């Protein structure tokens, strides 16, 4: 049955200069919009695009004027306002508007990477040891080197470069200062797990189904840490972009597949995920799986992430998009 679908997304502010080249990540959402619109039209649905720009208090007006059966939510938060992502989802909930993907409480929970790691630990899901540090309390560091220093509440690899992997106190202090000054006053510091890196997507509401497992593969020059940097995702002329690949489905044995599946489904259950999500994880030196994070609003551009994993199991992109819409309307 044809539906009226509104695609909600953050419209890149073309007249505003965004520092550090991060406009690449912001404008990347437009590729999703084009692909999702094309798929929805191919499925016979009517489509309206709803671009959002700051300030946040203008969003309710845009939502109230919608004439739609369901909102396809591709909104990822305004620049330097990551918490605007769950706020907009909460607005839709309060208005009774059905939308794809995760509810506001899950977006809130998983956005705070440190807080959510504590939730994972409570649920018995293995995750790297971590601390939240600031320049004022960095002397309280009690983890084992090497460590990786990250923003506490960002995605798309914002702020990640080779220097984020540290092996002594001087490097740690420098990175905690750098990340704290750029990203709201604190840094998430984790013990660095340098094993195989995997991610897996799920579909479902009350019951989650693992779509497929991918492995991130690295062929980097000597001395560069094996991490997904900002460059590896957005800048084609860099060693990280050229030296970071994906194998899907991951070449793993049945035992490791089962271990990953249990970790992924347990993580999504702990988060309360709905619709679709992606779990990122690494294998430690003992062969165990440590969950790094749950991305509750992952990229669904064709040939990436969940779309790649769906294709690996024989699901066309239009089928994936229809499934996501169906889950929103359950």
Which CATH number does the domain housing residue 171 bear? 3.30.1490.20
Regarding whether 140 and 183 lie in a shared domain, the answer is: yes
Regarding whether 199 and 58 lie in a shared domain, the answer is: no
Beta-ladder partners of 283: 289
17 lies in some domain: yes
As a whole number of angstroms, the distance between CA 330 and CA 327 comes to: 5
Question: Residue 181, CB half-sphere, CA atoms under 13 Å: how many?
Answer: 7
Supply the pLDDT for residue 15. 45
As a whole number of angstroms, the distance between CA 229 and CA 25 comes to: 12
Two structure tokens written together for 221: 């020059």
As a whole number of angstroms, the distance between CA 182 and CA 159 comes to: 8
Number of domains in the chain: 3
Regarding whether 76 and 117 lie in a shared domain, the answer is: no
Reading the chain (330 residues) residue by residue, the pLDDT tens digits are 899 999 999 987 654 444 455 555 556 678 999 999 999 999 999 999 999 999 999 999 999 989 999 999 999 998 878 789 999 999 999 999 999 999 999 999 999 999 999 999 999 999 999 999 999 999 999 999 999 999 998 765 567 889 999 999 999 999 999 999 998 889 999 999 999 999 999 999 999 999 999 999 999 999 999 998 888 877 888 998 999 999 999 999 999 999 999 999 999 999 999 999 999 999 999 999 999 999 999 999 998 999 999 999 999 999 999 999 999 999
Q: What's this model's pTM, rounded to 2 decimal places?
A: 0.93
As a whole number of angstroms, the distance between CA 138 and CA 130 comes to: 13
List the domain range (segments joined by +) for residue 27: 4-99
Regarding whether 148 and 12 lie in a shared domain, the answer is: no
Regarding whether 89 and 10 lie in a shared domain, the answer is: yes
Regarding whether 94 and 41 lie in a shared domain, the answer is: yes
């Amino acid at each position: 049955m044809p539906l009226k679908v509104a695609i909600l997304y953050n419209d890149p502010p073309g007249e505003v200069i965004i520092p550090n080249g991060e406009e690449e990540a912001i404008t990347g959402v437009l590729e999703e919009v084009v692909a999702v619109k094309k798929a929805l039209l191919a499925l016979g649905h009517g489509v309206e695009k709803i671009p959002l720009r700051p300030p946040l208090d203008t969003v309710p007006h845009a939502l109230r004027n919608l004439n739609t059966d369901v909102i396809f939510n591709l909104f990822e938060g305004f620049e330097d306002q990551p918490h605007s992502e769950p706020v907009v989802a909460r607005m839709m909930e309060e208005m009774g508007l059905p939308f794809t993907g995760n509810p506001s409480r899950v977006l809130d929970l998983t956005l705070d990477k440190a807080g959510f790691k504590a939730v994972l630990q409570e649920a018995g899901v293995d995750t790297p040891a971590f601390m939240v540090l600031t320049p004022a309390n960095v002397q309280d560091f009690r983890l084992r080197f090497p460590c990786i220093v990250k923003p506490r509440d960002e995605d798309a690899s914002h702020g990640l470069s080779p220097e984020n992997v540290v092996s002594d106190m001087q490097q740690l202090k420098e990175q905690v200062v750098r990340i704290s000054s750029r990203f709201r006053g604190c840094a998430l510091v984790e013990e660095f797990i340098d094993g195989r890196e995997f991610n897996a997507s799920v579909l479902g509401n009350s019951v989650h189904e693992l779509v497929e497992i991918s492995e991130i593969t690295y062929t980097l020059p000597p001395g560069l840490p094996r991490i997904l940097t900002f460059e590896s995702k957005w800048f084609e002329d860099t060693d990280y972009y050229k030296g970071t690949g994906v194998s899907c489905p991951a070449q793993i044995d049945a035992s490791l597949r089962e271990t990953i599946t249990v970790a992924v489904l347990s993580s999504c259950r702990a988060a309360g995920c709905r619709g679709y999500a992606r779990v990122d994880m690494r294998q430690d030196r003992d062969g165990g799986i440590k969950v790094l994070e749950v991305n509750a609003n992952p990229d669904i551009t064709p040939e990436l992430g969940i779309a790649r994993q769906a294709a690996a199991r024989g699901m066309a992109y239009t089928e994936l998009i229809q499934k996501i819409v169906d889950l929103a309307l359950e």
